[in-house]
Every structure is written in C-alpha cells, then in structure tokens.
Amino acid sequence: MNTSMKSDSPVQHKVIKNLIEAHSWLGLIISPLLFLVFWAGAVTLFHDEITQWAITPHHPVDNSQADIPLATLVEQKLAEYPLDYNGRFRINMPTQLVPYYIFYFDIVGDAPQSAPQSMAILVDPKNGQTVAGKDDFYLSQFIYRLHYNLDLPGGSYLIGMVTLIFLFALVSGIFIHARKLLKQFFLYRVDKQRRDKLLDLHTVAGVMTLPFTLMYALSGLILNLAIVFQLAFVVFIYQGDRQALFNDAGFNRISEPRSEKSLDMSNAFTLIEQTKQQSNFELRNIIFHHYGADNALVQVRGTDTANFAQRDEVTYRVQDSSVMNKVNVDNYNVFRQGRDVLVTLHFSNFAGVDIRILYFILAMAISAMIVAGNMLWINKRRAQRQSSPRSIAIVTAMTIGGCGGIIVATAVGFLCERLLPATLPGRSEWLVGCFVASLVAVILYSIKVNDTKRHISQLLLLTSGILVVTIAADWLMFSEQIMALWQTGYHGVIGVQIGMMLVTAVCLWTACQLGGYRHSLSSMPENSTPTSGQ
C-alpha cells in the first residue's frame, strides 16, 4: 500500500501544481469584479438603513400625524400624473426603515405616439406629498446594482460567469489545502516572512468563511444565470411551456385586455385591508391591473412571518371579490419555494440585524482574502527575474488598485450622497460619475506603485478621511433633523454613522499595522533574511 502511494505521489503533485496555477490565474483575473461583488454585497446588506440615512434628513416623516387612507392617496396620485391605464402599477408599503410609499407606474408621453415612460416616486404617507423620485437618492440602489449587474446592460451575465469561476476557485482551493485543512485551520504565523503571513491570511480567511462562500457562490450563480436554468427547465420539465414555468416561479402575467367599462375601485382597498388583517401576514406591496376597469385585478403580496422564506400572494378580481390565484404555505410548489429560500439566504432576510452584521463581517473577510491572494501573486512575480516590470505594474493597478479604488469610491459615494443638493438635476448621474472618476483615479495612480503595503495603507487612510468628513457634514447640515428622527424611532441615520465610524476605525488600525510591519522590515539588518522554516 505504501508503494502505491509513492507511485501516485508524482501524479498527485502534478495535479496539485496545475490546480495551484489555475487557482492563481483565474483568481487574479476575476479578483476586481469578485471584490466588487462581495464589497457591494456587504454594503447592500444595509440597503434600507442607507436609504433612510440619505433621504429622511431631507424629508422627515411626522409620526404624530395619522396616515392618509391608501385609497385617497392613490386617487390623489392618479390625478397628479397621466397614468397609462393599459399597464399596471405597483405600490410598496412604508417600512420601519423606509417610511415612504413607493409608487411604480407608467405615464403617457407628451407626443401622441410616444411610448409610456416608467416612473417611481416616494410619497409621504402622512401628507401625501411626493418627496422625491426613487432614484434621486441613488446611492443604496446603485451599490445594490453594482452587486448583481455592475449597473450595466447584460452585467448580470458577466457577474454570473465570475461567480462560476469563483465556485471553481473555491473547489480547487479545498483540494490544494485538503491535507492541511484541519491541521493548520487556525495557523497564522506572526513571526514569519511577509509571504507566509499573506498565505496564512488568504488560507485562514478562505477556510473560516467556506460555508458562507459556498452558499453565496451557489445562490449567486443560480440567481445571476437564471436564464440558463430557465431554458433547461422549459425544455426538459415543462415541455416548452415557458408561461407555466413563470407561473410556478411566481411571475404570473395578466394577458386579458383592459375592459372599456369603468368600475368603482373602493372594493379593492377593502380586499387589501381584509388580507392585511390575516394572522402572520406582513403586507409588502400591491399591484393593480387595469385600474378603474370592470375587469380590474389587485394582487396583494406579503411575507408569512411564521414560516421560513415563505411569501404569500393573492390575486382578486375587484368586481366580485373572487380569488383568481393564491399562493401560501398550504399552496405552493417546490420550484418557487426553492427560489424563495435562495433569495432569503442570499440577502439574509430571515432574521434581525445581528445576522446581517455577521454576513457583513464574513463578506469583509472574503474581500481581505481576495486582496491577500493578489498580493501573493504580485510578490511571487516580482521575485522572478524574468517577469516584466510593466506587466506587474498593470496587474497591480487592475487588482490592488481596482480593489482599493472600490473602497475609496464607495466612501466618495457616501460623501456625494450627503453633499449634493437634493434638487440638483441629474443628481444620480453626478453620484455615479464621482464614483467612477474616483475608481479610475485610484487605478491610474496604482500603476507606479512598488510598495503595495504602503499603497494600501494610503488608500485606507484616504477612505478614513472621507468618511470622517461625511459624518461631520451630517451633523453640520442636519443635526436637528437627526436628533428628531432618533427621538421618533428612526435610528437608521445614526446607525449608518456608527457603521462608518467602525469602518474608519478598522481602516486606521489596518493602515497602522501595515505601516508598522513595513517599518519592521526596513529596520532589519542587511544580512538577515526572514525564513519560512519551522
């Protein structure tokens, strides 16, 4: 048996060597986009808190007033905007974090033959005023879109491919470190050379976050490349019936044309209230089809708070209150349930803020793992005499500069969200432009960098300074509003500020550690060389 093991060892060694090469190169290629996915995903975990931080100081909600009845509010908005009644419109309910109604609808264009234009507005539930367009305060939505499609057409497919490669990198990493996975699980050699430390950081972060990263890789792959799985399901399971697949997945389409006869819609709001009063039902949004016609439908959607990853939905015909379709815990299919479980796990919608904080820490650990892996590759190539300095500079700019630039650009985005005037035309475009300009500037600056640790330290210090300025601007501009919001139960503004302070502290600590380690290396005697033994 020992003889067979020895005969297999050269083959095993070759396989491991090939896996290391594939793991290194593929990881390097996808590292900027993968870093962006995890960094933006970590920030997106607090999407609603960031939305509250951005909007409520400008447009605080007076909780001492009663809510305007939804029926009155809908009729008021329909009188203000030229709704395209041939389509549908949706209303998202106010929440504890985002205290506004969000209306999504299509409006008729000025020209007779022009196509309807999509519109989304935030409406104060207390006074019925339209406080802003949904994308006027774009930061939280922009970071969310960066996470899943880079805010680009077709970006979701690119992110899906990155996720697929990331899944291979995870599996290959498990094979590479299989023998030492348990023995060196917590090993971090603080008294060894720089490469050992980086390797330990990369390995330990990868092992500690492995269940989390596998869940994210699999769920992200399915969600981003859903079109591939849809085609397979349509062909092999649904026998080419694409609409049946959509119905089972919960994407029901209303195909009947709008009736010419009008109908009083008061019964629709009665049905909404009746559904809302059901036990364990938390109303999320409402969708109207053919509003004001005698074939009008209303879909009431919510969350079943007593069951995991269970979304309830009922569709009524307004005219006679008949139920056209209903989905709940007693009436669901495996396809939809599986999709809802994936979405719930991916976005940590199943528990409180403590789970989201844990997700955030794990996502930051993966981000650190990505940067450590890049630095390992760069240090290895610099040690090889045949490596081109120009190619190393380009790789450093695209990987270290790209990852560091994303951190700096995010901080710039928060600063712009606070400082840009709320009424500035094209406010969202200004914010995106500042984000992209900051990212490109850091990448270009990184081309001439030789000391990657010093460079990362500088970027972290710059990020800390921008976040401190953002917090100071918060209190200089909206101190009274922030205190009033806190007293009325809106804690998201100060919560985001605490988050920015914690990130600032971590950045400063990391920058000091990098600076201190660089100083210890420079103070070593010339004839002393760090060893990798023991």
Task: Please say if the pLDDT value at position 245 is more than 70.
Answer: no
Q: Return the structure tokens found at 128.
A: 């019925």
DSSP strands (E only) in 308-435: 311-317, 322-327
**How many helices (H) and strands (E) would you count in the chain?**
17, 8
Average of per-residue pLDDT across 332-349:
79
The CB density around residue 93, as the number of other CB atoms within 10 Å, is: 18
State the Cα–Cα distance between residues 302 and 99, nearest whole angstrom.
17
- Give yes or no for residue 143 having a pLDDT over 70: yes
pLDDT in tens, 440-477: 999 999 888 878 888 889 999 999 999 999 999 999 99
Per the CB < 8 A criterion, the answer to whether 88 and 287 are in contact is yes
Overall average pLDDT of the 104-124 stretch: 84
Amino acid at 522: S
Q: Is 120 helix (H, G, I), strand (E, B) or coil?
A: strand
The residues that bridge with 527 in the sheet, in sequence order, are: none
Confidence of residue 273 (pLDDT cuts 50, 70, 90): very high
pLDDT in tens, 154-207: 888 888 888 888 888 888 877 776 666 656 555 545 555 555 667 777 777 777
Q: Look at the block and give the residue holding tokens 């041939």.
A: 86
C-alpha 322/C-alpha 315 separation (Å) is 9
Unique residue bearing structure tokens 């023998």: 179
Per-residue pLDDT, 156 = 85
For residues 370 and 170, what is the distance between their CA atoms, to the nearest angstrom? 12
Segment 237-266 mean pLDDT: 73
Q: How confident is the model at residue 521 (pLDDT cuts 50, 70, 90)?
A: very low
pLDDT confidence of residue 235: 53
pLDDT of residue 80: 93
Residue written as token pair 């969350």: 303
CB within 8 A of 327, min separation 6: which ones? 250, 311, 312, 313, 314, 336
- pLDDT-derived band at 352, boundaries 50, 70, 90: confident
Of 219-228, 236-245, 345-354, least confident by mean pLDDT is 236-245
Q: Are the CB atoms for 41 and 410 separated by under 8 Å?
A: no
Tell me what pLDDT residue 533 has.
Answer: 34
DSSP label at 107? E
Q: Which carries the bigger pLDDT value, residue 397 or residue 126?
A: 126
Q: Looking at residues 95-114, what average pLDDT do you find? A: 85
Q: Where are the domains of the chain?
A: 2-53+141-175+351-522, 70-136
Query: Is residue 310 classed as helix, strand or coil in its secondary structure?
Result: coil
Give me the phi and psi of 207, to 5 degrees please: -70, -45
Maximum mean pLDDT: which of 85-89, 111-115, 245-249, 263-267: 263-267
Amino acid at 251: F
45, 192, 260, 310, 343 from 349: Cα distances, Å:
9, 42, 42, 11, 8
Residues of the chain with pLDDT > 70: what percent? 82
Which residues, at least 6 apart from 322, have a Cβ–Cβ distance to it below 8 Å?
A: 316
pLDDT attached to residue 360? 93
414 closest CA partner among 36, 50, 35: 50
* pTM attached to this predicted model: 0.85
Cβ(508)–Cβ(460) below 8 Å:
yes
Contact (Cβ atoms closer than 8 angstroms) between residue 383 and residue 209: no
Angle between helices 210-224 and 194-208 (to 10 degrees): 70
